[in-house]
Structure 1
Amino acid sequence: MEFDIKTTWDSLPVNHDPVKVKFSPGSGGMTLEVFAPFFNDPPSPASPAGHPFPGLWDYEVVESFFLNSKTEQYLEVEFCPHGQHLVLLLSGRGNAFTEGLSLTFEATISGNKWKGKALIPWGYFPPDVDKMNSYAIHGSGDGRTYEALYPIPRDELTENQAPNFHRLEYFKNFRLQGIMGEDWMQPESQFWK
């Protein structure tokens, strides 16, 4: 299952090749792959690759969110081309109760492109995921760019509105069974009891 991020958060077309996010079955979780332009702006966080980094959203990242729309429980995963990652578990809009979980993530930069591959354990997903969205962020200062797979429609923008990736009402239908098969049952999680 593959998605292209072709618009900014406010529904304008991106001015570069779209970021691609691909989901597939993995051993004990879902494999998430990123294929993206590499902007190197901002530069790498001051943290070693392969480790969680708080505040990673302030850097160049690709993010995916997986939501149970009935409970507003959701998983947010962020990936940086320099190899850092961030996992947040949230209950209620923007209310993170767990941050910095470990996972297997590797990224490689080749010229003006980067790719990354992560295994997201099933235990990180809330039960009954039914919506998702993905985002990409790069740039500094006035050049900061926020892109969304499912953006806010132009006619729903308000004056002085800023990007907010926790606008759950704009997430679209998504089921893990679409990746794993209709008979697949999500394992129970210690985090979501």
Structure 2
Amino acid sequence: MKLNPFLHLSLSVLLYNGAVAEIQYSIETNWNGKPVVHPAANLTLSVGPTNDTFTIHVQAAYFGSPEIPDCEAGYPYDALYNFEVVETFFLCSESNEYVELEFAPCGAHLVLLLYPTRNALVEYLPLEFTAQIDRQAGVWIGDVIVPTSFLPADVNRFNAFAIHSGTPEEQVQHCYTTLAGQHSEKNNLNVL
């Protein structure tokens, strides 16, 4: 079980001065603490095309379930977390402000700026997000450009999740272990 004190220096260096070229993460654990039984979802955070952006590249297994009704690629989608997604959380532990970025294989996304836990300050911010599904290979790939202005000041914690259909133990997976493998929003943020 890997617990994350998080790479405080690496993330802040990437996001705030671009000195680190990229950071890679893998979502390898189910909520019950057991390893995923399919290829892990992988995320790469990189310096963006401009000084005030960074990119996230997602490569994940494609399950196709649950399908998103009326999905419009490149646009925000309400309650996206109820469908197959990969989501990232960036938190400032001093202020408890955080941003949740959600990405779906169909190209929909959702940005939520939150403070405190689950209280949305801003929703539906636009993003440059594209996604492609390779049904034959059973994978999807997404690329997004994120303005650093979407992040709280002094981000120092991070976690990532993959959500899809499956048995209850396999529906939600995480990059960094939650407390005792429990599934709750409070525990999500404790390990960010």
Instruction: Pick which of 37-46 and 14-23 moved more.
Output: 37-46
* TM-score, length of structure 2 as denominator length: 0.81
Q: Secondary structure at the match of 2:98?
A: strand
* Structure 1 vs Structure 2 CA RMSD: 1.7
Kindly provide the amino acid, as one letter, of the partner of residue 170 in structure 1.
V
Please say if 1:150 is aligned against 2:171.
no
Match of 1:71 in 2: 95
Q: Is the 8 A contact 1:42 1:140 kept in 2?
A: no
8 Å CA contact 2:62–2:139 kept in 1: the answer is yes
Which AA in structure 2 matches 1:80?
A
Counterpart of 1:40 (choices 28, 42, 64) is 64
Letter in 1 for 2:93: S
Q: Is 1:132 the counterpart of 2:158 in the alignment?
A: yes
Name the residue aligned to 2:6: none
1:79-109 alpha-carbon deviations (Å, 9 max, x no partner)? 0000000000011112111111001000001
> Which one of the candidate residues 121, 132, 144 is aligned to 1:118?
144
TM-score (structure 1 length as normaliser): 0.80
Distance 1:67 1:132, change over 3 A: same
SS class of match (1:97): strand
Task: Specify whether residues 55 and 141 from structure 1 end up closer, same or farther in structure 2 by C-alpha distance, changes over 3 A only.
Answer: farther
Residue of structure 2 in register with 1:188 after alignment: none
Identity of aligned residues (%): 36
| Cα distance in structure 1, aligned partners of 2:167 and 2:42 | 25
> What are the within-5 Å matches in structure 2 for residues 85-104 of structure 1?
85-104=109-128
Q: CA–CA distance in 2 between the matches of 1:166 and 1:75?
A: 15
Query: Secondary structure at 1:123's aligned position in 2?
Result: helix
Match of 1:50 in 2: 74
Structure 1 runs (4+) greater than 2 angstroms displaced: 140-144, 163-167
Query: Which of 152, 164, 172 is the equivalent residue of 2:184?
Result: 164
Q: 2:30 aligns with which of 5, 8, 16?
A: 8
Structure 2 CA distance for aligned equivalents of residues 165 and 46 of structure 1:
27
Higher helix residue share: 2
5+ residue gaps in structure 2?
Answer: 1-22
CA distance in 1, matches of 2:146, 2:109: 11
**SS of 1:3's equivalent?**
strand
